[in-house]
Chains A and B, each alone.
Chain A
Amino acid sequence: VALLVFLCSVFPVYWMALTAFKPTVDIQSATPTFWPSTVTFSHFATAVDAPGFWQFWRNSVVVAGGGVLLALGVALLAAYAAARMRWKGRRAFVLMVFVAQMTPWEALLIPMYVIARDTDMLDKLSMLTLIYFMITLPFTIITLRGFLAAVPVDLEEAALVDGCTPFAAFRKVVFPLLAPGLMSTSLFGFITAWNEFAFANLLIIKNQGDRTLPVWLSSFSNTFGTDWGATMAASTLFMLPVLLIFLVLQGKVTSGITAGAVKG
């Protein structure tokens, strides 16, 4: 039974990779083979050579990376405020961030479109960056707040007593301890933005060169027709960075999600 569960969860991914490596003759034969007779990289070549591949790839990296960096900067300050400072409305703020984390972003497609039009940001990658910033922000604040709360206040106070300014105390004492948390949080945010499809699909309409990888992949039939080998190769390439990040983070992702979304 365990094996069955394993097979069910792995099969689609296996089939994707397999198709990507199979020669076209095998893909189109009436009896599918479950092991490649010969391995070919030609599908990957087709996918990479497809018009605009590198540009879409670059767009995706810029948009996701930019959004996450912005979110990280703002979230660091906000998380610090939420974890360390006493101020009126702090509880309300934390609660609001939780609500924002849970809101269905897809429901906000329409106002985003209207806002983008009003501010002349339609068809611009900067708009997408801002949206990814917003989408990743709540999650980043919540997890960073958790990591910050785990850093003992005494350490910071000791630094203050020794004559550090609050900022220097933060930079020299708290920040190094926080670095692993920052790393995993930002990588996770990056995946979220990397995978995002709905907004990228809606907001980049006229300027086809500014599309991102998910949108490009979903319109694969326009690009590759019925060349499933190339399509699967493109999917594999798209999935690879995410998989690598997951491998790096492994357990941290699970605990980060449970800490962020379930326990808080």
Chain B
Amino acid sequence: MVAPTVLAAAYLLGYPVVRNAVISLQDFGVRQLVRGGAEFVGFANYAEILGDPKFWSVVGRTFVFTAVNVVLIMVLSTFVALLLTGLRKGMRLLVMAGLVLTWATPVIAATTVFQWLFQSRLGVVNWVLVELGFSRYEGYSWFADGTSTFGILVLLIVWQSVPFAALVLYSAMTTVPSDLYEAARIDGASGVRIFTLITFPILRPMFALILCLEVIWVFKSFVQIWAISQGGPGEATTTLPVYAFQVAQSLQKYDIGAAVSMITVLLLTLVLLAYFRQMFKQEREL
């Protein structure tokens, strides 16, 4: 009874990936989707993608998007985690409750709320900016401009990702023996030095794990971008997953879309390998 289950699970999880790989090697358009009988064309799809300048601009944008988000997430969550360790109990519970609330917000609800916050005529963000004296933001439409849409997406993803990273880092920080801190304080070390010389080196594996997770999560983020801008305006927010979906869905070039997905998966596999190396290293230490 157990063996078939394991096999079935392996099959279910493996088949779509294999199917994706197969499609990416075929000539697969609408006709083949309806009638079947797709022909193998080897790596022609990959050759087409790699020769397409649009693909490269999407790749570049994806890397910028990931880098900006991940850096912000890591810095802010480290900061919040450090802040949490220094707070009194009541205040700490309050901040943690806020973080959990943010974390619990479903992606789609959050995207809807952000669209409302940045709404051009009645949105509260524009109102605050005008009140603060930036009168050019009166009726400013954030989603009409590529850069500002990009910025809002970054804000949204960072807002959603910080709680998890901060809470995990915080619980990791509480495991650092407190006599180490005391010793450092007696020796007259400043807060920054305590962090760079004690907290960070001890928790480096933890930081590395979270870094890998966040890179993967941000890199593959699709829902937020799709729900807010569908990759637009123009192609200002088209990242690799969005691009793969667009090519497959609106242009009905399933082969090209599948190939782009494969490239995405391969890129992420590299990050994943780093993650597993780190994880096994840590397991051995435990």
Q: List the interface of chain A (C-beta within 8 A of B).
A: 1-2, 5-10, 12-13, 15-16, 19, 27-28, 30-32, 74-75, 77-78, 80-81, 85, 93, 96-100, 102-104, 106-115, 117-118, 133-134, 137-138, 141, 191, 194-195, 197-198, 201-202, 214, 217-218, 220, 228, 231-232, 235-236, 238-239, 242-243, 246, 250, 254, 257-258, 261-264
> Contacts A12-B110, A111-B23 given: A264-B104 contact, CB under 8 Å?
no
5 closest A-B pairs by CB: A104-B220, A111-B20, A246-B104, A106-B222, A111-B19
Question: Residues of B contacting A243 with CB < 8 Å?
Answer: 101, 104
Instruction: Tell me how far the C-beta of A156 lies from the nearest C-beta in chain B, rounded to whole angstroms.
Output: 15
Contact A16 B109 (CB under 8 A): yes
Contact A99 B104 (CB under 8 A): no
Among candidates B95, B216, B245, residue contacting A6 with C-beta atoms closer than 8 Å: B95
> Contacts A110-B244, A262-B168 given: A217-B108 contact, CB under 8 Å?
yes
Among candidates B163, B216, B249, residue contacting A9 with C-beta atoms closer than 8 Å: B163
Instruction: Tell me how far the C-beta of B226 lies from the nearest C-beta in chain A, rounded to whole angstroms.
Output: 7
With contacts A5-B83, A109-B245 known, what are 7 further pairs, Cβ within 8 A?
A: A9-B102, A214-B107, A242-B106, A257-B168, A262-B206, A262-B213, A264-B279
Contact B113 A107 (CB under 8 A): no
Question: Residues of B contacting A261 with CB < 8 Å?
Answer: 213
Tally of contacts, chain A with chain B, CB under 8 A: 228
A191 to B106, CA, bound (A): 9
> Contacts A10-B101, A111-B16 given: A195-B220 contact, CB under 8 Å?
no
What would 14 A/B residue contacts be, using CB atoms closer than 8 Å? A5-B80, A15-B113, A32-B122, A81-B2, A106-B223, A107-B244, A109-B248, A111-B16, A197-B226, A235-B109, A236-B109, A238-B109, A246-B104, A264-B279
Contact B112 A74 (CB under 8 A): no
Question: Residues of A contacting B275 with CB < 8 Å?
Answer: 102
Among candidates B105, B159, B167, B221, residue contacting A254 with C-beta atoms closer than 8 Å: B167
Closest to A107 in B: B261
Contact A5 B95 (CB under 8 A): yes
> Contacts A6-B94, A108-B16 given: A214-B106 contact, CB under 8 Å?
yes
> Contacts A32-B127, A194-B106 given: A16-B244 contact, CB under 8 Å?
no
Question: Residues of B contacting A100 with CB < 8 Å?
Answer: 13
Contact A110 B222 (CB under 8 A): no
Contact B227 A218 (CB under 8 A): yes
Any A CB within 8 A of the CB of B17:
yes
Contact A239 B95 (CB under 8 A): no
Contact B102 A104 (CB under 8 A): no
A16 to B173, CA, bound (A): 33
Question: Residues of B contacting A108 with CB < 8 Å?
Answer: 16-17, 20, 261
Any A CB within 8 A of the CB of B33:
yes
Among candidates B28, B92, B264, residue contacting A107 with C-beta atoms closer than 8 Å: B264
A257 to B268, CA, bound (A): 20
Closest to B38 in A: A114
> Contacts A2-B83, A9-B99, A217-B109 given: A107-B265 contact, CB under 8 Å?
yes
- Say which size band chain B's interface belongs to: 35 or more
Any A CB within 8 A of the CB of B69:
no
A126 to B101, CA, bound (A): 32
Question: Residues of B contacting A28 with CB < 8 Å?
Answer: 122
Closest to A130 in B: B12
Instruction: Tell me how far the C-beta of A115 lies from the nearest C-beta in chain B, rounded to whole angstroms.
Output: 6
Closest to B248 in A: A110
> Contacts A6-B95, A108-B261, A114-B19 given: A81-B6 contact, CB under 8 Å?
yes
Among candidates A12, A107, A254, residue contacting B117 with C-beta atoms closer than 8 Å: A12
Question: Residues of A contacting B1 with CB < 8 Å?
Answer: 77
Contact A114 B33 (CB under 8 A): yes
> Contacts A100-B13, A218-B108 given: A10-B98 contact, CB under 8 Å?
yes
Instruction: Tell me how far the C-beta of A193 lies from the nearest C-beta in chain B, rounded to whole angstroms.
Output: 11
- B98, B222, B254 — which one has the most chain A CB atoms within 10 A of its CB? B98
> Contacts A137-B12, A243-B104, A246-B100 given: A98-B241 contact, CB under 8 Å?
no
Any A CB within 8 A of the CB of B135:
no
Instruction: Tell me how far the C-beta of B111 lies from the nearest C-beta in chain A, rounded to whole angstroms.
Output: 7
> Contacts A100-B13, A104-B264 given: A77-B98 contact, CB under 8 Å?
no
Among B17-48, those with CB < 8 Å from A are: 17, 19-20, 23, 28, 33, 36
Closest to B247 in A: A110
Question: Residues of A contacting B10 with CB < 8 Å?
Answer: 93, 96
Contact B16 A214 (CB under 8 A): no
A119 to B68, CA, bound (A): 41
